[in-house]
Structure 1
Amino acid sequence: MTDIEGAILDLDGTVYRGDALIPGVEAAIAALRERDVDVLFFSNKAIERPAAYREKLAGLGVPVDDDRIVTSATVTAAYLREHHPGESVFLVGEAPLAEELSEAGVPVGPPAEAAVVVASMDRTFDYEVLTDAMVALEDADAFYATNPDRTCPVEGGEIPDAAGMIGAIEGVTGRELDRVLGKPSSVAVETAMDRLGVAPERCLMVGDRLETDVLMGNRAGMRTALVLSGVTDAEDLREARTAPGRTDETPSPDHVIDSLADVLSVL
């Protein structure tokens, strides 16, 4: 019997890549559930609502309940509602994130009224948006990001993620983020643990990114498994393990597997 009672699974690069399910994943998830491991899907992307992820997973043969999907957008909305109630947010992000904030009662407004600036992946990001972000940060009290990911894996390669927007805004304003709210933050950990209702040491974190998935698991005391089916390959891992200046904050997976299809081997 395994001591693992819950599993947090990243989506892009771990469960699927683009619109294609990674081979063997459907059976692996079914096997986890058969062993009474509660599965939570956690995407750091904020460009889709949880319902869209549920529909996508169902279409790929992986049924999931609504409350077993978390995104950096849902974490961000809940955090702003609790810590910045009624404060206007200037958002660099796409419509699904704006909808998530609106449903949580978080007002999204123009840059001149912003008390908070939130940066996220935005495929329409341009000079005008960058200028608006500069204006917003002149008086805003807080500067957050949904996620720190540099790229997003898609079929055939990768595309820029939120780090591009964050870097541009930090570069022109000279102001650094106050915090990231999605993986690998403590806010993300708390959200996931609340959903699963298990202790971190009885949870397995599976993902394809060292600096988000694995680091979150390391910080929380979870068991971690890095999959090589997404943005991190064997050479990336070797370089990370041999890089100078390693600290306690350097991500270090407990297990490395080719893909989620092999997850039972680490239980």
Structure 2
Amino acid sequence: MQKGFIFDLDGTVYVDNNLIDGAAKTVQYLRDRGDKVVFLTNKSIETIDAYVEKLNGLGVEVEKENVINSNLLTAKYLSARLKSDEKVLVIGEKPLFEELQNQGIQVTEDDENVRYVVLGWDRQFNYEKLNHAFQAWRNGAEIVATNPDRTCPVEGGQIPDCGAMIGALEGATGETIEIILGKPNPFAAKLIVDEILQLPPENCYMIGDRLETDIRMGNSTGMQSVLVLTGITKQDMLDTASDQPKYVLNSISEIKEIIEDPKSKALDYQQK
């Protein structure tokens, strides 16, 4: 039976520019089986083309249609809701602007005539940008964020991600930002499972290193959730976690075990 595999990238397939051992062989193994493979990242500071180039450069063969990021998900969400004359104000980096414009979304710097504020990871985030988004909100704009990640794993540690921008704007408005695209939003899962993989959710595996995004999305949408311990989440964090994966693997290289024998060491590892 054909299966679908949705791989997170940072902390799952690679960390910074270092491919995780066995990642390329695992992806090739799945493709040789006839399974479908896509890559899904919440990171909004790179274009899809950049991810394709990076993966191919690391030895993981991939085409553009097999990579989805939170910028694309956000653009698709907005394009289905915006009227032809409505515009968005964007806090984020160049790849986010480009993806929105690629989908025909009009971007403006006018905080008085804007339908949505689009909030993404911005490494040049400052008070001026915060105030710009805040004034647009005061003028009636709805806030949409690309992803909820508080941090991004890098070699040797973590750095602040879009969650830091969300926290700043929530602190100013006093309201919770409800629309956050990317994982674990069911919008992302439905798009990938129904339109790209075209498989039943129970035949799809969501593989990632974060409990609150990767695992939560897998569990909430009926997919097989697989946690890898090569990124943010460590084994001892599972003891008190509300989002529990179905499988826990040391790394992506162990996926073959849960395919060939779901009751193998890979599943037992979770129960220790």
Regarding TM over 0.5, the answer is yes
Query: Size of the alignment, in residue pairs?
Result: 256
- Answer yes or no: is 1:53 the counterpart of 2:51: yes
Could you tell me the TM-score, scaled by structure 1's length? 0.93
Structure with more relative contact order (C-alpha pairs < 8 Å, separation 6 or more): 1
> Which position in structure 2 is the counterpart of 1:118?
118
Conservation of the 8 A alpha-carbon contact between 1:204 and 1:224: yes
Query: What residue is the counterpart of 1:39 in the other structure?
Result: 37
CA contact (8 A) 1:4 1:203 kept: no
- Out of 242, 245, 251, the position equivalent to 2:243 is 251
Percentage of matched positions with identical amino acids = 44
Partner of 1:89: 88
Does the aligned pair in 2 maintain the 1:117–1:140 contact within 8 Å? no
1:263 and 2:255 aligned: yes
Once the two structures are superposed, residues 158-215 of structure 1 have per-residue CA deviations (whole angstroms, 9 ceiling, x without a partner) of 1100000000001011122131111111110122111111111110110000000000
After superposition, give the CA deviation of every residue in 1:78-122 in whole Å (9 maximum; x if it has no partner).
110111233211111111000000110111112222210111110
Q: Report deviation, 1:156.
A: 1.3
CA–CA distance in 2 between the matches of 1:4 and 1:260?
A: 19
Please give the per-residue CA displacement for 1:141-167, whole angstroms capped at 9, x wherever unaligned: 421111000100111111100000000
| Structure 1 vs Structure 2 CA RMSD | 1.1
Residue by residue, what CA displacement relative to the aligned partner does 1:46-79 show, whole Å, maximum 9, x if unpaired?
Answer: 1111110000000000110111000010010011
| CA–CA separation in structure 1 for the residues paired with 2:15 and 2:32 | 25
CA distance in 2, matches of 1:198, 1:138: 43
Q: Deviations over 1:224-265 (max 9, x none)?
A: 10000000011222231xxxxxxxxx3220000011011111
CA distance in 2, matches of 1:167, 1:140: 19
2:262 aligned partner: none
1:115–1:139 CA contact under 8 A, matched in 2: no
Aligned AA for 2:157?
A: G
| Aligned partners of 1:151 and 1:159 also within 8 Å | yes
Matched ranges for 1:149-188 at <5 A? 149-188=149-188
C-alpha change, 1:229 and 1:4, in structure 2 (3 Å) is farther
Check whether the contact 2:238–2:244 (CA below 8 A) recurs between aligned residues: no
Displacement after TM superposition at 1:4 (Å): 5.4
Q: Which runs of 4+ in 1 moved over 4 A?
A: none
Distance 1:259 1:4, change over 3 A: farther
Residue equivalent to 2:5: 7
Distance 1:264 1:10 in 2: 17
Cα distance in 2, alignment partners of residues 4 and 229 from structure 1: 27
Question: Which residue in 2 is equivalent to 1:216?
Answer: 217
Equivalent position of 1:231 in the other structure: 232
With over 3 angstroms needed to count, the CA separation of the structure-2 counterparts of 1:27 and 1:132, relative to structure 1, is same
Distance across 2 between alignment mates of 1:152 and 1:89: 26
Runs of 5+ unmatched residues, structure 2: 260-272
Structure-2 separation of matches of 1:140 and 1:73 = 23
Residues 2 and 34, structure 2, Cα contact 8 Å, conserved in 1: no
Tell me if structure 1 keeps the 8 A contact 2:3–2:204: yes
Equivalent position of 1:195 in the other structure:
196
What residue is the counterpart of 1:69 in the other structure? 67
- Matched residue SS, 1:105: coil
Match of 2:18 among 17, 20, 45: 20
Name the amino acid aligned to 1:219: S
> Could you state the TM-score of these two structures normalised by the residue count of structure 2?
0.92
